[in-house]
């Protein structure tokens, strides 16, 4: 095996008074593709930061081969100090790097390079950061959750791009398919230590389960040995004093092994509070359509969802997945067509943006609704602290405002609250975000055992394969089709995966219709209002971006929440509103610019 270009040996790190890493190792050879796995909180991201040189360990050694280039993608990229995305990406290049590759990557990731980093969404910031670390084609790539906030087309494109690189790769991800397709070695962080498997992630889970099973057997043998030694102490024939001392020392050592043993981290315990049975028909949509302005989101779509179905909805970002769900559940009306919601429907919904969580509300009140220490699960009362423990929260977190929790913790809160509601229809919008692999397993098992109906939006291909009985796919231009089976079955039937959403020009549409013999639609002329909007929108967008920058500066004050929680909440709400306003303005400007180009052509 070639000499490593990156090596960590016997890494130790203590957080507060608790050891996080105790003798962790990581060795990366040229071109090696490594999956770094472990439970949430096991230290994966921390070990990657130590490998990148972002933080120092309390003990151990770090070696990087002289001259080796390295790029690190953190979970939360920092784009401050740059005027544009292009400037941020180009700052990651060195003398011999190709600047054209930077522009290629920016375009492939759906950006222009002219965006103001201060106004980017979380997904856009991650795309910019990916372009920055991929552009130099470094010797070592360290990627922490690169698929977070990416849609399926972007995930599949990124997978292909990483396969084509000669760079060594250390990858943290909750996307099983992504890990299985890319990695050839697996490093497992477990209770502060690392264990290495010279196979990719696809072989990891069976290997891990075998190790844990053997560990459980060893603990059982140890317990039996202690019982035998204690029996000798109490009832054995007295021997020479030295022998007695040795036996007592042995017993003491065995007991210490039991005290020192740290079992595997606890699992989230997922159980859903089921309501009464719904009618056989849950939802029927007949030729429904929905448009926003000139853009058609859903065009003449029909489906029938029966009790017990598990329906996946997939498509690129912006295709209208959430809009489709809102129509199917009766939250919004279609412009045309008809939606019939079945009888005795009790709906529980997991919101993609977790917008329903009040950042100031304590965790206990969010779960119980306030005014009580208990909640009812499947007709049985359960104390809120016990329910919190099932989702890996400590009793001390009961009064923690949910705004102070991490992204993964907030996702578990929303999941816990949704599952506590009596329901016979579960609507899960991006439930897999920020969940570790073990929790994803339990969520899949819960969906399989749930007696009601499940509608789920997800970009996780493996999750859809295991959870869905049919998949509704965005085909483009507002067209949606339903395919039997999971994601892989859909790809087999359709002949392709999910494509990125494209804004088709009217000229191209007219050309296609002309070639097919259909009469071309007359081009719409620009009105005075259109021309005025085209001229003024860029200035208006700059004002909105400036306002967002002011709000971001306010929210960057770490002490604001503690000092004035009301101001924090107001600024957060205003920032979200400005983001939506900017997105609408950008869509309108793009539509008008395309129309102008069309007319000039």
| Contact status, residue 375 vs residue 384, Cβ threshold 8 Å | yes
Cα gap 9→26, rounded to integer Å? 7
64 and 158 within one domain: yes
What does the pLDDT read at residue 227?
Answer: 67
Cα separation, 362 vs 403, whole angstroms: 9
User: Residue 554 domain-assigned?
Assistant: yes
Domain match, 469 and 576 both: no
- Residues 226, 379: Cα–Cα separation, whole Å: 43
pLDDT at 514: 40
- Let me know whether 559 and 448 are in one domain: no
Q: What is the CATH number of the domain that holds 322?
A: 3.40.50.300
Same domain, 179 and 305: no
Q: Is 190 in the same domain as 310?
A: no
Rounded Cα–Cα distance for residues 31 and 69 (Å): 13
Q: How many domains does the chain have?
A: 5
Over residues 217-260, the pLDDT tens digits come to 777 676 776 666 666 565 554 544 445 556 556 656 655 665 55
DSSP symbols for 572-590:
HHHHHHHHHHHHHHHHHHH
Q: Are residues 86 and 190 in the same domain?
A: no
8 A C-beta contact, residue 127 and residue 150: yes
Q: Are residues 449 and 554 in the same domain?
A: no
User: What does the block give as tokens for 102?
Assistant: 């930077």
The residue to which tokens 């981290």 are assigned: 265
- Chosen domain end from 199, 216, 251: 199
First to last CA, the chain: 60
- The count of other CB atoms within 10 Å of the CB of residue 139 is 20
* Per-residue pLDDT tens over the stretch 126-171: 899 999 999 999 999 999 999 888 888 889 999 999 999 999 999 9
Inter-residue contact 291 to 393 (CB < 8 Å) = no
Write down the pLDDT at residue 143: 96
Beta strands in 262-421 (DSSP E): 281-292, 295-306, 310-314, 336-341, 347-350, 374-377, 380-383
In a domain, 515, yes or no: no
Structure-block tokens of residue 180: 């299985």
Q: What is the pTM of this model?
A: 0.68
Show Cβ contacts of residue 93 under 8 Å, excluding neighbours closer than 6 positions.
99, 102, 135, 136
Sheet of 168-172, strand order: 70-73, 140-144, 168-172, 33-37, 185-190, 193-197
Q: Answer whether 63's CB lies under 8 Å from 200's CB.
A: no
DSSP state at residue 324: H
Note whether residue 512 is domain-resident: no
- As a whole number of angstroms, the distance between CA 130 and CA 173 comes to 14
Structural domain contains residue 159: yes
pLDDT per 10-residue tile (average), the chain, 601 residues = 90 85 94 91 90 94 94 91 94 88 90 90 87 95 90 89 94 92 94 92 90 78 68 54 56 59 56 69 93 89 93 88 90 92 85 65 84 77 84 83 74 78 85 75 81 89 90 91 90 78 40 41 58 83 86 79 79 79 78 71 55
Torsion of CA 114, 119, 124, 129, to 10 degrees: 70
Please check whether residue 93 is in contact with residue 102, taking contact to mean a CB–CB distance below 8 angstroms.
Answer: yes
Domain co-membership, 420 together with 307: yes
Question: Is 270 within a domain?
Answer: no
| Distance from C-alpha of 277 to C-alpha of 308, rounded to nearest angstrom | 10
Helix 528-555 and helix 565-600: axis angle, to 10°? 150
Q: Are residues 183 and 231 in the same domain?
A: no
290 and 408 together in one domain: yes
- Is 266 domain-assigned? no
Q: Report which of 123, 118, 135 is spatially closest to residue 82, judged by C-alpha positions.
A: 118
132 and 151 share a domain?
Answer: no
| Same domain assignment for residues 1 and 51 | yes
Distance, in Å, from the CA atom of 525 to the CA atom of 436, rounded to the nearest integer, reads: 52
Q: Which two tokens stand for residue 97?
A: 């790097």
Task: Identify the domain containing residue 424 by its residue range.
Answer: 281-494
């Amino acid at each position: 095996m070639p000499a490593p270009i990156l090596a960590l040996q016997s890494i130790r790190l203590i957080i507060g008074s608790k050891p996080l890493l105790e003798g962790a190792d990581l060795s990366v050879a040229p071109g090696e593709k490594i999956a770094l796995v472990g439970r949430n909180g096991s230290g994966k991201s921390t070990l990657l930061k130590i490998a990148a040189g972002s933080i120092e360990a309390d003990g151990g050694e770090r070696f990087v081969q002289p001259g080796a280039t390295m790029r690190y993608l953190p979970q939360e990229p920092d784009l401050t100090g740059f005027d544009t995305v292009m400037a941020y990406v180009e700052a990651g290049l060195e003398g011999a790097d190709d600047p054209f590759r930077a522009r290629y990557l920016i375009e492939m990731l759906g950006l222009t390079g002219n965006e103001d980093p201060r106004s980017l969404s979380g997904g856009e910031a991650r795309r910019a950061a990916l372009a920055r670390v991929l552009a130099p084609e470094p010797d070592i790539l360290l990627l922490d959750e690169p698929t977070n906030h990416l849609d399926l087309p972007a995930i599949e494109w990124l997978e292909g791009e990483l396969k084509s690189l000669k760079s060594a790769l250390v990858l943290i991800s909750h996307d099983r398919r992504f890990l299985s397709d890319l990695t050839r070695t697996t490093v497992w962080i477990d209770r502060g230590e690392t264990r290495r498997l010279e196979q990719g992630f696809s072989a990891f889970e069976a290997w891990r389960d075998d190790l844990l099973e053997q560990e459980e057997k060893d603990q059982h043998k140890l317990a039996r040995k202690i019982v035998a030694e204690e029996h000798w102490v109490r009832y054995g024939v007295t021997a020479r004093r030295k022998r007695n001392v040795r036996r007592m020392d042995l017993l003491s050592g065995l007991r210490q092994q039991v005290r020192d043993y740290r079992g595997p981290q606890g699992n989230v315990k997922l159980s859903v509070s089921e309501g009464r049975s719904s009618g056989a028909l849950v939802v029927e949509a007949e030729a429904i359509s929905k448009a926003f302005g000139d853009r058609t989101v859903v065009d003449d779509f029909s489906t029938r969802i029966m009790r017990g179905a598990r329906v996946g909805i997939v498509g690129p970002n912006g295709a209208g997945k959430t809009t489709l769900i809102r129509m199917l559940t009766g939250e919004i009306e279609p412009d045309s067509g008809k939606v019939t919601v079945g009888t005795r429907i009790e709906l529980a919904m997991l919101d993609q943006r977790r917008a329903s969580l009040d950042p100031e509300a304590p965790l206990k009140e969010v779960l119980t609704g306030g005014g009580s220490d208990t909640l009812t699960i499947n007709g049985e009362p359960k104390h809120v602290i016990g329910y919190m423990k099932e989702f890996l929260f400590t009793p001390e977190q009961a009064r923690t405002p949910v705004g102070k929790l991490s992204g993964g913790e907030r996702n578990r809160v929303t999941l816990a609250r949704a599952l506590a509601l009596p329901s016979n229809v579960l609507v899960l919008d991006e439930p897999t975000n920020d969940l570790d692999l073990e929790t994803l397993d339990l969520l899949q098992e819960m969906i399989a055992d749930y007696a009601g109906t499940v509608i789920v939006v997800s970009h996780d291909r493996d999750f859809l394969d295991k959870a869905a009985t049919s998949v509704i796919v965005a085909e483009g231009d507002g067209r949606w089709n339903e395919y039997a089976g999971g994601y892989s079955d859909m790809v087999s039937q359709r002949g392709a995966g999910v494509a990125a959403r494209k804004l088709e020009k009217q000229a191209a549409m007219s050309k296609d219709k002309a070639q097919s013999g259909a009469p071309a639609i007359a081009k719409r002329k620009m009105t005075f209002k259109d021309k005025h909007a085209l001229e003024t929108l860029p200035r208006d967008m700059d004002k909105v971006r400036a306002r967002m920058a002011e709000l971001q500066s306010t929210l960057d004050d770490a002490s604001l929440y503690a000092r004035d929680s009301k101001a924090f909440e107001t600024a957060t709400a205003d920032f979200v509103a400005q983001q939506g306003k900017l997105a609408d303005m950008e869509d309108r400007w793009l539509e008008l610019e395309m129309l102008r180009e069309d007319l000039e052509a």
